[in-house]
Amino acid sequence: MIDNGKFNVLGVMVDAIDYGSATDKVIAAAHEHRPLALTALAVHGVMTGVDDPAHNARLNSFDVVTPDGQPVRWALKVLHGIALADRVYGPTLTKHVLQRCAADGLPVYLYGSTTETLVKLVAELQRAFPALKIAGTEASKFRAAADGEDRDIAERVRASGARVLFVGLGCPRQEVFAYAMRPLLDMPILAVGAAFDYHAGLLRKPPEWMQRYALEWLWRLGLEPARLWRRYLILNPRYLARLSAQKGGMWRATPPAPAVERPSTFAV
């Protein structure tokens, strides 16, 4: 297993880690009733930090930030000489953690997406992991949180008996949510992006060769061009330009100090 610590990728501190070590960190925190915030960042997630210093600081307060996309994994090699054998992709990491939760009897809570997606997701997870205990599910309300709503959500999660919280709200909403909830829950919180849709059978995965050569963006762009064209056709070139500038010393990409206060508003 590999866990080489955190390294600066465009100002976001990304963990040079593999699936085994990331899973172990989550399961250890669950058993020890210890808060832990994890997110899996691809290019879009890293660029949200580049474009928003406050969000950058928020990301750098996370306990674990995995290299979800191949370009982020490659950045660790280009910038720091850290050669990981594979990325740590949110949907795949989700499967690893769920398998361990099922084996260890750790109940999970699923927060985000729609009621219809959650119904399909629960059915698929129960089929894949018969021993898995799903303590509760809660669909996104697709609005800003009301005053005190963070504490209400945290109380529902705690009361369910869950030991791991999975959040599928999309980037960057899920990171803002996880950051707000971390001080309120004594358990790991995983921001896992499209994992809910993938495991519910609503999104098709690209072929392995496309994933290996960092072409998943092209696959997803073909599936959802109207929603994703700006993300991929504008952000990807900007990411490469920033990466070149950091590598060439033209941009220091100094990470901001970690955020110390929860945001006053976040989406639920």
- Could you report the per-residue pLDDT of 204-232, keeping only the tens digit for each? 676 776 666 666 666 565 666 766 666 66
Judge contact between 189 and 36, C-beta under 8 A. Answer: yes
Going by pLDDT thresholds of 50, 70 and 90, the confidence category of residue 6 is very high
Nearest by Cα to 59 from 9, 99, 97, 19: 9
Instruction: Report pLDDT for 113.
Output: 94
Check: pTM over 0.85? Answer yes or no.
yes
Query: Which residue type does 7 have?
Result: F
The pLDDT value given to residue 183: 95
Tally the domains of the chain.
Answer: 1
Sequence-ordered alpha helix ranges (H) in 105-191: 115-128, 149-159, 173-181
pLDDT at 144: 87
**Domain presence at residue 264:** no
Give domain status of residue 241, yes or no. no
Residue 119 in domain: yes
Buried b / exposed e along 24-59 (16+ C-beta atoms within 10 A): bbbbebbeeeebbbbbbbbbbbbbbbbeeeebbbbb
Cis peptide preceding 91, ω within 30 of 0: no
**CATH code at position 205:** 3.40.50
Per-residue pLDDT band for 115 (boundaries 50, 70, 90) equals very high
Q: How confident is the model at residue 236 (pLDDT cuts 50, 70, 90)?
A: confident
- With respect to residue 89, please indicate whether it lies within any of the assigned structural domains: yes
Q: Is residue 261 part of a domain?
A: no
Strands across the sheet containing 164-168: 64-67, 36-41, 188-191, 164-168, 108-112, 134-138
Does residue 151 belong to any structural domain of this protein? yes
User: Is residue 109 in some structural domain?
Assistant: yes
Answer yes or no: is 240 within a domain: no
**Structural domain for 119, as ranges:** 7-210
| Of the candidates 87, 132, 124, the residue with the CA atom closest to the CA atom of residue 106 | 132
